[in-house]
Amino acid sequence: MTHGYDIKRILDLLPHRYPFILVDRVLELTPGESIRALKNVTINEPFFQGHFPDQPIMPGVLIVEGMVQAGGLLLVESFSAEIRSRICFSGVDQARFRVPVIPGDQLVYTVEIARQRSSVIKMNATARVDDRRVAAAKLMALIGKTE
């Protein structure tokens, strides 16, 4: 198990950049198994200007994207460089949003590899605020063929 990646390490591993980096810290990572990652939600997020000005709520699609980015970090640390260069996110199923996420919340993403068969990787993802589940989804990634 690996403990704690800061934002510098995350930026080394993910291609995302401001304003689209949605993971601030990795709390725990066990390659091939699971990750727990953190996103601090602040009123300074650019999407709050329009979603919604009088009642800011984090868009659900961005919560899913945060879970996907956490899953991406898990996969990067779970496979060799040759394989991870061929991994691509391919789907999200059963996304559910239970509680609004607002400025001041800390989102904790948990992503677990549920199974891998051949070139398909399926993951279960949840997002929690104060230990209360706010969202969940099933994620899928594919390992592309070599040329």
Residues catalogued as catalytic: 51
> In one letter, which amino acid is 23?
V
The β-bridge partners of 143 are 87
First to last CA, the chain: 33
Cα distances (Å, whole numbers) of residue 92 to 34, 63, 64: 17, 12, 8
Report the DSSP pairing between strands 120-129 and 34-40. unpaired
Distance from C-alpha of 39 to C-alpha of 67, rounded to nearest angstrom? 10
Assigned token pair, 56:
């800011």
